[in-house]
Every structure is written in C-alpha cells, then in structure tokens.
Amino acid sequence: MRVLVTGGAGFVGSHVAEALVREGCEVAVLDDLSTGHRRNLPRGVALYEGDVRDARFVELVFREVRPEAVSHQAAQASVARSVREPRLDADVNVLGLLVVLEAAARQGARRFVLASTGGALYGDVREPAGEDRPARPESPYGVDKWAGEEHLRLFAREHGLSAVALRYGNVYGPRQDPRGEAGVVAIFADALVRGRAPVIFGDGSQTRDYVYVEDVARANVLALRAPAPGPGGFRAYNVGTGVATDVRTLYARIRSAVGPEAPPEPIHGPPRPGDLRASVLDSRRIAAELGWRPTVDLDEGLRRTVAWVRAQAGRPEEG
C-alpha cells in the first residue's frame, strides 16, 4: 500500500510512518518542518517539504506519490495557541485538511485516516466518554477538529472515500517537543532532567487520558488496513486507555522516573484558557472492531520517554 503521511516528520506522524514501513507499506511524508525534524524520518522515506495549506504544492505531491491511502497527522496541536490565534487554528486544522481532502479525491486515494481529538471534542468528562457522546468542545482547537471530522464525513459520502477519524487521548512519548505548548509529559520530563521545576497550570487536579505514542501509531496502521467502514464510508474511534490521571500524580510519576536529582516541587501558575478540567476516553469500539488495545502502561511509557529526553539533553538543534 502506498501511503502519504502528512505531518510525518513530527511527533505522532513519524511514529505512524515508522509503523507503516515496518508493515511493508511504501511511505512518503509531507511536512513543513515547523515542528517536525528530518531526523525523525525512517530511512528511505521521501520527504516533500511544504505546507498543507498550499493547494498547488499539495496537488503536485499527490500527483507524484499517487497514494492509495492518506494518514493526515498535520495539525496545529496546541489548545492554548488556538485560544490566542483561532484563525490560525482554523486555517491549519480545517482549511489545510480540506486542501488535502480535495487532492486525495482528485488523485484517487481510497482510504483516509484523520488524527482527531477525544478530550477537546467531548469537553469535560469524568467518566470514560464513548464515540456517541455529543460533541461539546470548549476551545477553538476542539471546534476545528470537530469541523474537520464533519468535512471528512461529507467527503467520504460524496467522493467514495473510506474514512476513519481517530480521536486521540493525550498522546505522549519520544520525539514530543518539550519546548512546545502541548505535551505536558515532554515538558515536565525535560525540565526535571535539566534540574528545573516545571510549571503546573492551575491546581493540578485536572485529569487526562495519557496514551503512549507507539500504541497510537498502531491504531493508525489498523485503521488504514481495516475493512472499509460501514454506511457513509466513515467511522470514528477513540484511542485512549480509559484511565484518568491528574496532573499532580503525573508529575510525581515523572519525577520518580527521573530519579533523586529531580527538583522536589513544581511551580504553580494560573489556569490556561481552554484547558479542560477532566477528560477520559472509552475505547471499547476500536477494541471490538479493529482489535486495538493499549499495550504500554503509563509508568513504562514515562520511563521510555524520560530515557529519550535524557538522550536528547544538550543535543544541538537540526532540521
């Protein structure tokens, strides 16, 4: 299978590209390297450097690659930034998606998998939310991901695409940018490894469903290879663990993974606009229909992430 991975040099996208290569797929990557890095690409995977909002460029890439399937990971991924810059968020997460969808339809791609969101889409939930829960987004990021799913649903119906939206929990693991605004695990781990106390926004009682990036990549592979979805050609799946962990507990477990040299106490800052109080996902649908279940528990995932952060500490920047 020929697969184009947008955002494939980034955090989640590069793991998806690796997993597809291991499955024997012919993989190409489209990425503007605004947050991704060439070093993340699997050996032998072609990189087309450019922006998903550039319709002419995207069309040329599709004509050259002729993908049978698309894994759309490219996104503006920060809730906080979406609150500050809602037009930018819509530009990337809605209009950029439409550019890719139009090219996919014109060039004959048959399967399309969209990286979506669970927490930001459902709003505050203290019990695991299933896919049938009504959308109640509380940030521009959540609104735009929901709009993206609806556009994908329409394209599936109108253009014969087989489409899947994967609603991620809070993805963490190696290659997550500790200098970004999203990715609390990477931010905390990097600060603690460097001997600095990280900032907890709010009181730290906020809960999230943390899912390891390799498990998320495997969900993408299953979604690309699964039989076509049913009526309408569209299916949404949550990708999470069903376990809610509060920020204070997360900090303590990362600190334990770092070891005794970690600073003992974090710094507390004010809550950030758009942040949810609680989020946890019910992933029984993807387990039943695609056979996906998380395989890496939080402590093991944190251990692997801290080991990666240690290896990166002091490493010079590269493209």
* DSSP string for residues in 184-219: HHHHHHHHHHTT-PPEEESSS--EE-EEEHHHHHHH
Residue 166 dihedral angles phi and psi, to the nearest 5°: -100, 115
> Nearest Cα to 153, choosing from 108, 98, 73?
98
Residue 170's beta-bridge partner residues?
210
Of the residues 122, 141, 168, 251, which is catalytic? 141
Residue 80 three-state SS: helix
Centre a 10 Å sphere on the Cβ of residue 162 and count the other Cβ atoms it contains. Answer: 20
Instruction: Give the phi and the psi of residue 284 in degrees, each rounded to 5.
Output: -70, -30
CB-based contact 99:58 (threshold 8 Å): yes
Nearest 5°: the CA angle 300, 306, 311 is: 130
Q: Is 122 a catalytic residue?
A: no
Can you tell me whether residue 241 is helix, strand or coil? coil
Which residues have a catalytic role annotated? 141
